[in-house]
Structure 1
Amino acid sequence: MSHTNTQAGLSLKAQLYALVVGIAIVSFIGSSWININTTRNYLNEQMEIHAQDTATSLGLSITPYLDGNSSNAVIIETMIAAIFDSGYYETIILHDVDEDVVHQRANPVSVDGVPDWFIDTFSLNSPLAVTELNNGWNMAGTLSVKSHPGYSYFKLWKHGINNFLSSFIICLLSLFIAHLILRAVLRPLAQVEQQAVSVGRKQFSLIDKLPMTRELRTVITAMNTMVTNIQISFMQMSQHADKLNKDLYVDPLTQLGNRRAFESQFKADLVEMEPKDLATFGMIQLPSLKTINIEQGYKSGDAYICLVAQAINEKLGILSSFKLFRGAGGTFLFTTQDAANNIMPLCESLHYRFSALNSTAYPQGFGEIIATSYTKKDDLSSLLSKLDTLLTQESSTGKDGVIYSDIEVKSTHGLRQWSSMIDDIATSDNVKFMFQPVKSCENNEVLYFELFPQFVFNQESIANNQLYAMAERLNKSTTLDKKTLKELAKLSSFASGVTVAINLTHQSLHDVDFRQWLSQFHHDNQETLPNIVFEVSESAILASVESSIDFIHFIKHLGCQICIEHFGSNFTSFKYLKGLDIDYLKIDGAFIRDLDKHPENRYFIQAVTQIGHSVGIKVLSPHVKYAESLAILNELHCDGVQGDYIQQTMHLFEREKENNNFFSPSALSLND
């Protein structure tokens, strides 16, 4: 789960502080060394002068007594002892004219209170001062005097300590002042950096307070202008896309998808269904709408339509896969991935709600409900004909609002059975994977492989649409997501650097406990897991944008990527993308299927690509079945494509047999 760390490297702040501290340390050490060396040279000169003066004055004093008289010798010794006993001299030696030592006094070199390392580092050179002694015109001898370095070492050590402390205090004060200056200078740069990071996360923040530094004011003003322009461009494109989307696919009265949106969505759902999947298609008619429009006016008719839409959403909206559309006039159409026998209780509850709302104001009845199951093999026109026929048959019986399903229920699973089945799946190893690549339009390389789990119960594959729909109702969809990730960690055929996508359910996206589990799971398996893209549906994001932002930040911290799939299916404003640090947008398949036959979809896709690219998001197009669609998507500058024309969905073990390194970005080519 590696990803490029945009904040890698040494920050400018660290570099400047390191430079300032380095200069301060070098200056401090250099000035201290020079100061001590200067003082040492001065002390050496002082000891030389002191020794020479002593030798000269003492020599003049003892010269009259150099006549060899024994009594005079005692005087000389006394005079030398008086000088030597002061302790400032290392040696005093008196030689006669024959260089023989007449008198000598020596003091051992020992320095108290000064460390040996300091003496070794800053050694003093005590010179030997010599003066000639004359008796009249005749030379009587020589006197040698050498100053003792102990006192000089002590003075040099004390001076070194004082110099160190004073220099250190000055250095700290200078560093503190430099810190204040650097902080004032770098604070705007940090704000600029944070602003750039925010733009990368699709957040457009401005810096209000401008610094005093002219260059920084110019940079920040330019950044603010750039961010403002990006925000304006994003908002304008979002508004344009929203208007285009609503004009084409949204009913202006109920804000539900219209008939065109329903047909596109229904065909896209068929493509995603598996042969064993069983879904439900329903129709709701408003038999009294025409009468109300004529007798009470269109305003009352509009209120009637909105009341029905509200009642439908209250009863059937609890289904995670429920989609409601308004057809022509007083017709509502809905689909759900649940089988008909699973939603019958909810439809009956809606029927009772219609009955409660029925009154003399609705002479032909409040509402009629017709529902039937369908599979991947069914087509829309035959299903609509069937529902119209069933509605006519039910109306002829004289029963108002009868719920009807023509699918004979041979075997049903109650909530307890589904719950038990999900628990069994979570503890078993009966999970297989299928996959399909998402390829780049620019260079035909694989952006990532999307994995689809297949769960097996009692040696039979379970239809994913029913399984996940029931898991959502039972609050157990997180269990399925955990199982999928655990099985993913067991796979070992991933090439280096490969990226795979896993779908996350609505519950997992907003479950804090799941995030804690995922963090530990990633920590325990990060060496074996590939790079991961989590795909979440647009409806799950819109359920709580704030919670989604927290989850995305958490995912990015783990090094994963995020993709919003079925983008555009909710006909909502695109402005919610601002602030979502996502990597991919996967357009809903309803806009891609038969793209060459629906030119109006091109404008929507073009708007999405412009919005995505303006904030650094890659736009992906699934359900590509024809070469004509691929050519159009390339013209519209989509970043990636997926679908049967690119490559059909394959079982994981089938590809593994062909190539042990099957999950490689270069392992697949277009149409292989």
Structure 2
Amino acid sequence: MSLHKQLWAAIIVLLTSLLIVSIVITTLSARDYLSEQLSLKNTDDANNLALFLEQKGTDTDLLKLTVAAKFDTGYYELIELVNPEGKTVIRKAADGVAANAPGWFVRLLTINAETGIANVQAGWEQIGTLTLRSQSRFAYEELWESSYLLTGLFLLTALVAGVASNLLLKRILNPLDMVVEQARSIGERRFITNTDEPRTLEFQQLVTAMNDLSARVKSMLGQETKRLQNLQRESHVDKITGLYNREPFLRTLESALQSNDDRSSGSLCIVRVTNLSNLNKEFGRKAIDALLHDMGTALNRIVVQHNGWSAARLNGSDFAVIAPRLQDAATLGSDVQGAMSAVLEDHDTEKQVQLPGGTTEYQLEDSVSALLSRLDGVLIASEREGSSTIVQAHPANVLLRPMHEQAEHWRSILEKAIANREFSLAKFPVVDANNRLIHYEAPVRLQVDSKTWNAGQFLPWVHRVGLADELDKRVFELALDEIDNTGHPTAVNLSVAAVADNSFISWAENVMEKRTGAMSQLWIETPESAAFRFPENFKRLTARIKAHGGRAGIEHIGHQLAKLGTLHDVGLDYLKVDASFVRHIDANPGNQALLRTLCTVGHTIGVRVIAEGVQNEQEWMALKELGIDGATGPGISLAS
């Protein structure tokens, strides 16, 4: 029961108790007063009538006429004259029932008035004993009317008091809504802070305590985020350029090539800074370190503008950029080389340095070694030319077609597939530490001409031809259909377009309102890049999903850990760690420290941390020891 109802119940009980007690006390007092007054009246009337009868002498008929005349006034229940021998000489009696008072009232509040008794004499001769009892129905009627009026007045008073109490309660409890909302937010792992503290002391203390809790969580998240960032820098980032080192970059590339989403195809570029050793001798190590730092900053400016792009310093002179979803390797090479050339010009070293490079496009299940070999070949050729030339390497088994022809070809296929509902969902288990099901991960598949295409094979083209929003809607509906058919908890991936586009959130709201039965088993996850690039839209989408009973999470987490503290008020249910941080985790102390801290942060705000792309039992055992809550990947299976 709500506090408002409890307070109202207390007020009703209090007013009702006061009403009953007041009516009872007042009515009993009135009854006792009427009884006393009626007793005095009986005594006075008996004495007066006795004196009057004494004047009539001993004539019985005259006495009867006198008593009859007195009785017929209607004010008496009983007038009786008994002679000294005990024989009744005169007796007049009437019904004392009150016409206007209910019988239960008369029985409950009996008026016990003393009967008036007087002796009647004629000189020294005693005529008899007179007994007189006044009519009590008038007293009952008076008592009933006064009680009825008193009850009405008390009820009216109670009504006025209730209205006043309601207004007062509203004024007192208005801040309670704010307190409840903050408490609910904290329960949903959204650690918000209320700046408008209520005036009521108890509510003020409660809000202050919850604000302190939120502040401590924010502070802890800030500290742990800095710790994560430092751990990531120590084990993954080149100290001079601020770019990834070789190993984490190659793990990122390997993870992309084996993924089931739109990261599995794109473009890769390597640019070499020539003559570095001579530059160090000519300008000094400190100056060249500053040059390399600025190159790293320039490349970071490029990659942060795109979702999932990464840049690395592979060795002293080689810089690489991976661009998932980009099917234009030549443009990538030109942009990377242009950014690095601008830095050379700023440092007046453009004449001493050449920037040869190689670029290529990659597809799902290409191998890292094959890609690097392909790029090494064109890089050597470019360097031999002695100029800043970007050479594009093409796979030997790929039939080159103009980009616009490929785009039109895929547009035709995808528009037909969306119209004919030729998409489906695959199912891969996500399990907890005991290998029990958390949910099924359901990547989308395309079925065309009896052939099934993995997401990584067609998703890049979905984005390129502008059909991502339509596919997101279809995936959303497919997940709800799957839940209706199987009852299994199902997780689907939404693209960056779904988060960026407010119209998708409105569309999803309408769908969720119509299909509330399946929402409790729906898990929605979006890429890390989308969550941090469009934070307000992401919070709005998450709030609507959770309001309808679903769960929300972020996938591929780990590349932007510095922004993790901004999630304190989102209310997430889970985080999925990118497979590049999970790969060979059993033999990577740096990533172990990183994931252990990430688990601590997640558990502090009540969020599950799940590992992606687990390959084998050794990785899974190591992850459990680090505190990971769940996992998915080729090495994961459900407990039998």
TM range (shorter): 0.7 to 0.9
CA distance in 1 between counterparts of 2:438 and 2:288 reads 51
Counterparts in 2 of 1:266 and 1:197: CA distance versus 1, 3 Å: same
Task: Report if aligned partners of 1:281, 1:336 keep a CA contact under 8 Å in 2.
Answer: yes
Task: Report if aligned partners of 2:245, 2:314 keep a CA contact under 8 Å in 1.
Answer: yes
What is the match of residue 416 of structure 2?
424
Counterparts in 2 of 1:451 and 1:518: CA distance versus 1, 3 Å: same
Shift in Å, 1:265? 0.9
Shift in Å, 1:154? 3.4
CA distance in 1 between counterparts of 2:550 and 2:476 reads 13
Task: Report if aligned partners of 1:281, 1:371 keep a CA contact under 8 Å in 2.
Answer: yes
Counterparts in 2 of 1:255 and 1:65: CA distance versus 1, 3 Å: farther
What is the match of residue 613 of structure 2?
623
Secondary structure of the corresponding residue to residue 572 of structure 1: helix
CA distance in 2 between counterparts of 1:317 and 1:186 reads 45
Task: Report if aligned partners of 2:585, 2:591 keep a CA contact under 8 Å in 1.
Answer: yes
What is the match of residue 40 of structure 1?
31
Task: Report if aligned partners of 1:316, 1:346 keep a CA contact under 8 Å in 2.
Answer: no
Number of equivalenced pairs: 629
Query: Bigger shift: 118-127 or 585-594?
Result: 118-127
Counterparts in 2 of 1:562 and 1:185: CA distance versus 1, 3 Å: closer
CA distance in 2 between counterparts of 1:458 and 1:378 reads 24
Task: Report if aligned partners of 2:354, 2:386 keep a CA contact under 8 Å in 1.
Answer: no
Counterparts in 2 of 1:173 and 1:28: CA distance versus 1, 3 Å: same
CA distance in 1 between counterparts of 2:168 and 2:484 reads 55
Secondary structure of the corresponding residue to residue 444 of structure 1: coil
CA distance in 2 between counterparts of 1:80 and 1:529 reads 86
What is the match of residue 660 of structure 1?
none
Shift in Å, 1:531? 1.1
Counterparts in 2 of 1:505 and 1:53: CA distance versus 1, 3 Å: farther
Shift in Å, 1:593? 0.9
Q: Report whether the alignment pairs 1:551 with 2:541.
A: yes
Secondary structure of the corresponding residue to residue 580 of structure 2: helix
2:568 to 546, 565, 578: 578
2:138 to 150, 156, 159: 150
Task: Report if aligned partners of 2:27, 2:143 keep a CA contact under 8 Å in 1.
Answer: no
Counterparts in 2 of 1:21 and 1:301: CA distance versus 1, 3 Å: farther
CA distance in 2 between counterparts of 1:140 and 1:473 reads 125
Secondary structure of the corresponding residue to residue 404 of structure 1: strand
Q: Report whether the alignment pairs 1:371 with 2:383.
A: no
2:517 to 506, 511, 527: 527
Instruction: Give runs of aligned pairs for residues 80-159 of structure 1, distance below 5 A.
Output: 84=73, 89=75, 91=77, 93=79, 99=88, 110-111=99-100, 125=111, 129=115, 131=117, 134-136=120-122, 137-139=125-127, 142=130, 144-150=132-138, 152-159=140-147
Counterparts in 2 of 1:576 and 1:121: CA distance versus 1, 3 Å: farther
1:201 to 189, 200, 205: 189
Counterparts in 2 of 1:142 and 1:376: CA distance versus 1, 3 Å: same
Task: Report if aligned partners of 2:255, 2:579 keep a CA contact under 8 Å in 1.
Answer: yes
What is the match of residue 250 of structure 2?
263
1:280 to 246, 249, 267: 267
What is the match of residue 401 of structure 1?
389
Secondary structure of the corresponding residue to residue 456 of structure 1: strand
Secondary structure of the corresponding residue to residue 615 of structure 2: coil
Query: Bigger shift: 181-190 or 371-380?
Result: 181-190
What is the match of residue 28 of structure 1?
19
CA distance in 1 between counterparts of 2:342 and 2:37 reads 116
Shift in Å, 1:479? 1.9
Counterparts in 2 of 1:185 and 1:383: CA distance versus 1, 3 Å: closer
Opposite residue 189 of structure 2, the aligned amino acid is: R
CA distance in 1 between counterparts of 2:297 and 2:465 reads 24
Opposite residue 449 of structure 1, the aligned amino acid is: Y
CA distance in 2 between counterparts of 1:460 and 1:215 reads 63
Counterparts in 2 of 1:134 and 1:418: CA distance versus 1, 3 Å: same
Query: Bigger shift: 223-232 or 207-216?
Result: 207-216
Q: Report whether the alignment pairs 1:438 with 2:430.
A: yes
Q: Report whether the alignment pairs 1:245 with 2:232.
A: yes
Shift in Å, 1:387? 0.9
Shift in Å, 1:445? 1.6
What is the match of residue 650 of structure 1?
none
Share of identical aligned residues, percent?
A: 20
Task: Report if aligned partners of 2:268, 2:320 keep a CA contact under 8 Å in 1.
Answer: yes
Unmatched segments (≥5 aa) in structure 1: 1-9, 648-667
Query: Bigger shift: 628-637 or 318-327?
Result: 318-327
Query: Bigger shift: 311-320 or 486-495?
Result: 311-320
CA distance in 2 between counterparts of 1:466 and 1:207 reads 50
Cα RMSD, aligned residues only: 4.6
Instruction: Give runs of aligned pairs for residues 380-395 of structure 1, distance below 5 A.
Output: 380-395=368-383
Secondary structure of the corresponding residue to residue 636 of structure 2: coil
Instruction: Give runs of aligned pairs for residues 72-87 of structure 1, distance below 5 A.
Output: 84=73
Listed one character per residue, the Cα deviations across residues 179-203 of structure 1 (whole Å, up to 9, x for unaligned) are 9899989989985994685376252
Task: Report if aligned partners of 1:500, 1:530 keep a CA contact under 8 Å in 2.
Answer: no
Shift in Å, 1:424? 3.1
CA distance in 1 between counterparts of 2:91 and 2:41 reads 23
Shift in Å, 1:209? 8.1
Counterparts in 2 of 1:305 and 1:461: CA distance versus 1, 3 Å: farther
Counterparts in 2 of 1:591 and 1:68: CA distance versus 1, 3 Å: same
Listed one character per residue, the Cα deviations across residues 8-45 of structure 1 (whole Å, up to 9, x for unaligned) are xx356654553454344334334323432443344344
Opposite residue 602 of structure 2, the aligned amino acid is: G
CA distance in 2 between counterparts of 1:478 and 1:617 reads 28
What is the match of residue 503 of structure 1?
493
Shift in Å, 1:390? 0.5
Counterparts in 2 of 1:527 and 1:67: CA distance versus 1, 3 Å: same
CA distance in 2 between counterparts of 1:121 and 1:291 reads 120
Task: Report if aligned partners of 1:128, 1:144 keep a CA contact under 8 Å in 2.
Answer: no
Query: Bigger shift: 180-189 or 427-436?
Result: 180-189
1:56 to 44, 47, 63: 47
Task: Report if aligned partners of 2:19, 2:154 keep a CA contact under 8 Å in 1.
Answer: no
Opposite residue 489 of structure 1, the aligned amino acid is: L
Unmatched segments (≥5 aa) in structure 2: none
Counterparts in 2 of 1:638 and 1:108: CA distance versus 1, 3 Å: closer
Counterparts in 2 of 1:385 and 1:77: CA distance versus 1, 3 Å: closer
TM-score, length-scaled by structure 2 = 0.81
Shift in Å, 1:383? 2.2
Counterparts in 2 of 1:395 and 1:356: CA distance versus 1, 3 Å: same
1:609 to 599, 609, 612: 599
1:328 to 309, 312, 315: 315
Listed one character per residue, the Cα deviations across residues 399-451 of structure 1 (whole Å, up to 9, x for unaligned) are 6423413144445555555455444333322222211112111x332122211
TM-score, length-scaled by structure 1 = 0.78
Secondary structure of the corresponding residue to residue 581 of structure 1: coil
What is the match of residue 487 of structure 1?
478
Shift in Å, 1:639? 1.4
Shift in Å, 1:535? 1.6
Counterparts in 2 of 1:235 and 1:192: CA distance versus 1, 3 Å: farther
2:530 to 522, 526, 540: 540
CA distance in 1 between counterparts of 2:91 and 2:148 reads 41
Counterparts in 2 of 1:343 and 1:161: CA distance versus 1, 3 Å: farther
Task: Report if aligned partners of 1:51, 1:147 keep a CA contact under 8 Å in 2.
Answer: no
Task: Report if aligned partners of 1:188, 1:216 keep a CA contact under 8 Å in 2.
Answer: no
1:563 to 527, 543, 553: 553
Give the number of the structure with larger relative contact order, counting CA–CA contacts within 8 Å between residues 6 or more apart. 1
CA distance in 2 between counterparts of 1:196 and 1:322 reads 37
Task: Report if aligned partners of 1:370, 1:391 keep a CA contact under 8 Å in 2.
Answer: yes
